[in-house]
Structure 1
């Protein structure tokens, strides 16, 4: 194990013992569920077309309490965590081709299962390649059109950014390792400041929303009867040749290159923890800072509320959770049950929208419901999506990783001293 969180490792040979056997980080695995659940709450509010509830004043007030930045905060956590775990698990001498292979093997099978489910449930016209092919290949977020970015299984947009993260990591790793240990924190702080520059440029000079109101809300259709399809899953959506997106919104939220620095915040945070330079093991202050930053998102433009304000405290939360695991501090997130939820969170994140589309077609469309109806369908979506995610993890993800990843599978981590390899197989939003 490395130096304890309160002791600094030798900067000339950081964390030598950890390089050979890095311990597991179950708290980070368990915390993944809360990030995925935050995304689910927002999507259940927006993507379950329960009428007339979604057209009511009550809905407007609820959406103010659970705004778009709630789901965006979960994605920000995933991006920072991804960088942390990737650096944590990539040790000197690891094969770069095998690294790429493992990342593809971890991402694509679950993505393809969720995509196939969505295509079947939403009756997506396969004759229109532009609708589904970019999404299947995870290149759709590079195109500033809603018909492409949001043209299929909407949550999968984040995987386009993840693929860029994985591609760039081995290329940038030599530069990361050349940073002197006593300067890593300064580089991390500089990166946080640097992130504000493009978001400010998007706000000042790129067309798009300039106000502080939510830009992500239900797309409503006429009438008080609930539709059989939320608009992002409707035949009318897939039939349109083009749906423009506000350029500044696309650049600040879904454009992969704009999210790349968030990944490297996690990489640098992993170095701090590995070298014993992150000493804090108390979550109180990082969580308080995160709460304050989240509250501030209500009063800033869209370009800043989606991730920029949350990055510093989110990075602190990730580093502190890891430091707690290294110090042997057990908490809710490191319990076996939460680790299990964390393990299925990637599949849950991807399958939730297809499940909502299915429940809309079977039970919501053509009827009218109020708040209690929405709560019931949100609860049903949560149960069905969790069960589907568990099945995908059990019968798709685990068997494929065990058979083709090149590493022997181990049991899910239940204590900080188990090998880190099992944790590294659950990276992804």
Structure 2
């Protein structure tokens, strides 16, 4: 499960974005910065990415709802987990796009902590009462025995460094992506410094090299499982984060091809269907097995293309339904929505039980649980996430 720990538009360089309290970009230009430099010229804001975040979070929600009320397209909804890949690409893109020279590393780390940790802790406390018992019921496998070690690792966002599901999905099951994001934050200042002089060509090469290296690793792991080590999740998902960094470099350097946003959505839809179909019928699709093995890299490319298309349209000043007030608001709440929706869903399942029949009438469950999750995420954003982020970020 995921939000990833999706990146907020609060890091974009203009007011009125994802978090109104965070209009100033907070990304360091590189480690060891001791004296402030003249800030780089403010780049156009890409607020449509806030609205786009909501749809990625909703895609993840639809996947998890299949555990309560399955729809006839159950197999396709399993791809809702790919929303996590979207958030990882977006994180690398936003942090790099909004980077300002002169921001100290400790300031960057403090702001990242303020961004994700307060809401994470509140969601973890709520999740504890749903996913843990002293004596877990045998017929509810999602409920686990209390483990102080697992809970502590979750609090510290270190539980993503193991592939043991009991630990990886420990605490709030969604928070494993925050553990991955914490690793991204740890090395982003250093990658930012190393790539500071790259322009359009360098950014594109960086993107291609990232995908090639990651894809090659997955193929080698498949063919030589006894020789190639299995990396932990933060390392495996770095392909998406680094790809987002490369995209931001190319856009920041002025390369803005005219890519219609509708075409970006069409490419993603076609790509997802191809991945789904090749997974169901690998023998009927050319290179079906290879496609299956490199699906993370393909998803990274698909979502990166969509993010790039949306960002280009915003930098050109084009109109965007993704910047509508309702979608921007939902995008602002999407982090809390991601953290809390599975807890609400499984609390309902514990007391009501799963809906046994597959059918479109289960959409009423989707609507009800989604509305309840949106309400809870709005409350958490207003009471916890937004005010505590403002307080912990410190002076701008």
Q: 1:373-398 CA distances to partner (integer Å, 9 max, x unpaired)?
A: 74333322211111111111111111
Q: Which moved more, 1:26-35 or 1:313-322?
A: 313-322
Q: 1:163-208 CA distances to partner (integer Å, 9 max, x unpaired)?
A: 111001011212111334433222222222222111112222338x
User: Displacement of 1:35 after TM fit?
Assistant: 0.3
Aligned-partner SS, 2:196 = helix
User: Displacement of 1:305 after TM fit?
Assistant: 5.9
Residues 1:354 and 2:343 are matched in the alignment: yes
CA 1:130–1:376: 2 relative to 1, 3 Å: farther
- Alignment RMSD, CA only? 2.7
Residue 76 of structure 2 corresponds to 65
CA–CA distance in structure 2, aligned partners of residues 372 and 316 of structure 1: 32
TM-score (norm 1): 0.72
CA 1:316–1:407: 2 relative to 1, 3 Å: farther
Residues 1:376 and 2:386 are matched in the alignment: no
CA–CA distance in structure 1, aligned partners of residues 351 and 200 of structure 2: 57
Of the candidates 263, 283, 286, which is equivalent to residue 261 of structure 2?
Answer: 283
Residue 244 of structure 1 corresponds to none
Residues 1:326 and 2:326 are matched in the alignment: no
User: Displacement of 1:286 after TM fit?
Assistant: 2.8
Runs of 4+ in 1 over 6 A off after TM superposition: none
User: Displacement of 1:370 after TM fit?
Assistant: 5.5
User: Displacement of 1:362 after TM fit?
Assistant: 3.1
Q: 1:277-319 CA distances to partner (integer Å, 9 max, x unpaired)?
A: 1322412333333223212213145963652212223212111
Check conservation: 2:153, 2:159, Cα contact below 8 A: yes
Residue 412 of structure 1 corresponds to none
Residue 293 of structure 2 corresponds to 304
Check conservation: 1:294, 1:309, Cα contact below 8 A: no
Aligned residues: 339
Residues 1:255 and 2:236 are matched in the alignment: no
TM-score (norm 2): 0.78
CA–CA distance in structure 2, aligned partners of residues 124 and 76 of structure 1: 31
CA–CA distance in structure 2, aligned partners of residues 314 and 141 of structure 1: 23
Residues 1:141 and 2:160 are matched in the alignment: yes
Check conservation: 1:202, 1:303, Cα contact below 8 A: no
CA–CA distance in structure 2, aligned partners of residues 313 and 192 of structure 1: 12
For residues 29-428 of structure 1, what are the structure 2 equivalents within 5 Å? 29-46=50-67, 48=68, 62-66=73-77, 68-72=78-82, 74-125=83-134, 128-206=147-225, 251=231, 255-298=233-276, 299=278, 300=288, 304=293, 306-364=295-353, 371=359, 374-406=362-394
CA 1:407–1:314: 2 relative to 1, 3 Å: farther
Check conservation: 2:180, 2:234, Cα contact below 8 A: yes
User: Displacement of 1:20 after TM fit?
Assistant: 3.0
* Greater RCO (CA < 8 Å, at least 6 residues apart): 1
User: Displacement of 1:341 after TM fit?
Assistant: 0.6
CA–CA distance in structure 2, aligned partners of residues 285 and 375 of structure 1: 28
Q: 1:229-277 CA distances to partner (integer Å, 9 max, x unpaired)?
A: xxxxxxxxxxxxxxxxxx99x85xx711011121111111112112211
Check conservation: 1:25, 1:322, Cα contact below 8 A: yes
Structure 2, unaligned stretches of length 5 or more? Answer: 1-12, 14-37, 135-144, 279-287
Q: Which moved more, 1:391-400 or 1:373-382?
A: 373-382
User: Displacement of 1:347 after TM fit?
Assistant: 0.6
Check conservation: 1:18, 1:274, Cα contact below 8 A: no
Q: Which moved more, 1:274-283 or 1:162-171?
A: 274-283
CA–CA distance in structure 1, aligned partners of residues 149 and 292 of structure 2: 28
Check conservation: 2:199, 2:253, Cα contact below 8 A: no
